[in-house]
Chains A and B, each alone.
Chain A
Amino acid sequence: MENLLDINFLIESIPAIVSRLPITIGIAVGSLILSLFIGVATALIKIYRVPVLRVISSIYVSFIRGTPLLVQIYLVFYGIPKIIYYLQIQYGWLQSADVNSIPPEVYALVAFSVNLGAYLSETIRSAIESVDRGQFEAAKSIGMTPAQMMLKIIFPQALAVAIPNLGNMFISTIKDTSLVFIIGVIDIMGQAKILGSRGLAFFEVYIGVSIVYWILCIAVERLLVLIEKRARRYERGIAS
């Protein structure tokens, strides 16, 4: 009798898929961290209306939002080596860089950081602008420098506001990392594809990889609830 599923194959595939989890999580977390810097920088450029940079950053945000992530990954993967090579030949820069030795994970990290940074930019800007003006004035009135004001007073409060949005974007990013196999990164999705073609059991491995993504996202959601609670601990109703 024909089985709908080869359950044994499915179960056996899961440990192999999970073994690539560090790649998936690494790209997602790494690009979250890098994109926070990009997001904060572009948000501040917009808030403080920095000339020239403001135009560049709004073109950047518009371009990223207006093109598919898949295309952006290809642009980074094929573009960066070409640009480095061009700079080496034309200007003699970056001589120590060996284009062929850059692992594909690096391109994935760059592409996802640049992509997520653009989406975070607006979230971070609106979170910073949602902080009460009085907080800025009080910080100035006691003589804080702009950097102290931002780091100690404004960012922590803005972060508390932004966490639900940041969390949603982070979860989307985790799922989007399933695209990285196209540039040769073997993440959990890549591993599932390899196993599937080896055993000609695609349905099984894709069920397996879905379960891994699902559990990962549930865990991240739980974690986000805890982080949000911690970040908003000073708000009304949470007794010390």
Chain B
Amino acid sequence: MIKLENIHKYYDSQHVLKGIDLIVNKGEVVAILGPSGSGKSTLLRCINFLEQPTRGIVEISDKRVDAESASKADISSLRNSTGMVFQQYNLFKNFTVLQNVMIGLTSVKKIHKAEAKKMSLEILERVGLTNRLNHYPSQLSGGQQQRVGIARALALNPEVLLFDEPTSSLDPELVDEVLTTIKKVASEGNTMLIVTHELNFARDISDRVIFMEDGVIIEEGTPEQIFNHPKVERTKQFLGKAIRAK
């Protein structure tokens, strides 16, 4: 479970997140929607402290971390209980597919190499990449790279998976293979928080949708509520435009 309390983020004088409260229950899949610059990626990155929140509390499975007094150990504990999938994949370029998935197990979790390899192969099987084990990221398509990215995040068996616009830099024809993989991961009961611009995908996959603008959550509800009966005018306008544009 993730619990965010009153998360604020300033870049100098710019107030990017204005007191976000959010709970994601175990096994829940939550999609965060909103226009560019609404702070949704920043919010995601505040959860594992890739961006340090200026104020507020991040709690993951009973581990409460106050942004203003977070120690290195606190931050590392949050990072150990989250897995992140990046827009730009960010696979380790100097590692093969298999090494990318194994590295967290061997160097962070200190699991023995042979065991780590076995676990990694299982996970790569789930994302359908066992035929590319010894390829380097530069030898893979964007879709394949992102599936390795998902496998790398899954390998550490985190409490929560964070997806930061996982399909935004993919060629349109490669989006589906990644979305299918994410759906599969969701169906396995993982707790997930997804920032995305794929509205149909968000509607299909999520248990709950959050709509953000200007650093605040302006509406949240089930996909049915948000997409079919949005209460707030701004949500209606955004989703209407975006859906029409499809």
Contact = CB atoms under 8 A, between A and B. Distances in A.
Given A141-B79, A142-B104, A142-B152, A240 B135 contact: yes
Contacts of B94: 153, 156-157, 160, 234
A152 B107 contact: yes
Given A134-B86, A142-B103, A235 B138 contact: yes
B152 to A, nearest CB: 7
A143 B80 contact: yes
A137 B79 CA distance: 11
Interface string B70-93: 000000100110111010111111
A33 to B, nearest CB: 22
Interface of B: 48, 50, 76, 79-80, 82-84, 86, 88-96, 103-104, 107-108, 134-139, 152-153, 156
A226 to B, nearest CB: 18
Contact of A137 (B86, B134, B139): B86
Interface in A2-32: none
Nearest to A155: B94
Interface in A89-141: 132, 134-135, 137-141
Given A132-B93, A148-B108, 12 more contacts: A137-B84, A137-B90, A138-B84, A138-B86, A138-B91, A141-B83, A144-B103, A144-B108, A153-B92, A156-B94, A234-B93, A237-B138
A142 B156 contact: yes
Contact of A142 (B79, B88, B89, B135): B79
A148 B95 CA distance: 14
A198 interface: no
B52 to A, nearest CB: 12
Contacts of B104: 142-144
A139 B153 CA distance: 11
Contacts of A140: 48, 50, 79
Contact of A234 (B83, B84, B90, B137): B137
A240 B76 contact: no
B86 A143 contact: no
26 contacts: A132-B93, A135-B92, A135-B93, A137-B50, A137-B86, A138-B92, A141-B82, A141-B83, A141-B84, A141-B153, A142-B83, A142-B153, A143-B104, A144-B107, A145-B76, A148-B107, A148-B108, A152-B107, A156-B94, A157-B93, A234-B93, A234-B136, A234-B137, A234-B138, A237-B138, A240-B136
B48 A141 contact: yes
A239 B137 CA distance: 11
Interface in A149-180: 152-153, 156-157, 160
A140 B97 CA distance: 18
B139 A152 contact: no
Given A138-B90, A140-B79, A143-B79, A236 B139 contact: yes
A145 B75 CA distance: 11
Nearest to B105: A142
Nearest to B49: A140
Given A142-B104, A144-B108, A134 B136 contact: no
A235 B139 CA distance: 8
A236 B138 contact: yes
B209 to A, nearest CB: 24
A135 B100 CA distance: 12
Nearest to A237: B138
Contacts of A142: 79, 83, 103-104, 108, 152-153, 156
